[in-house]
Amino acid sequence: MRSISAILFCGAVAAAAARTASAQAGSQVASATTALAPASVVFLDGKPIGPAEPWSAKPVGSYDLVIPTGGSMIIASLTIAEVAGKVSATLVQLDDPDPVAMDVAVKGTDLVLTLNRPQAPITVHLQHRGPLLSGRWTVGTMDSGTVEGKAKL
């Protein structure tokens, strides 16, 4: 059930990202079949709100995420924590209490979450401006979409 949920989550995020990417003239978004380039702008409701800010080296915190999919929304909670010097992320969907562990990498304004699976890796790229988040997700080369969210304060 956890794998199916993760695949659906990533597929939904990927589909939404593709729609947002096509609407963003001038933003740097690669197709799902190539490497994903981080966006330099943060979006709210699909509209740009300003340039992305750099992430801290250890972006520990909790975030609420919304992932639009074809006709529905996936609501999830993302927690980034440091344990024994290693930063990792846990994603929990509102309708599936099984947590999904993801690797974390920070590259300037791009926070990259990765779930390596034999079927296809799931990758989420997030940018932030203050407490607001936006970004893209991909499931291998099969699907992609957008994600938006907010830090829990």
**pLDDT for residue 16:** 37
The model's confidence at residue 27, banded by pLDDT at 50, 70 and 90, is very low
Three-state SS for the chain is CHHHHHHHHHHHHHHHHHHHHHHCCCCCCCCCCCCCCCCCEEEECCEEEEECECCCCCCCEEEEEEEEECCEEEEEEEEEEEECCEEEEEEEECCEEEEEEEEEEEECCEEEEEECCCCCCEEEEEEEECCEEEEEEEECCCEEEEEEEEECC
Which CATH number is 2-151's, of 3.30.499.10, 3.40.630.30, 3.40.228.10, 2.40.128.120?
Answer: 2.40.128.120
**pLDDT for residue 57:** 92
What is the pTM assigned to this prediction? 0.73
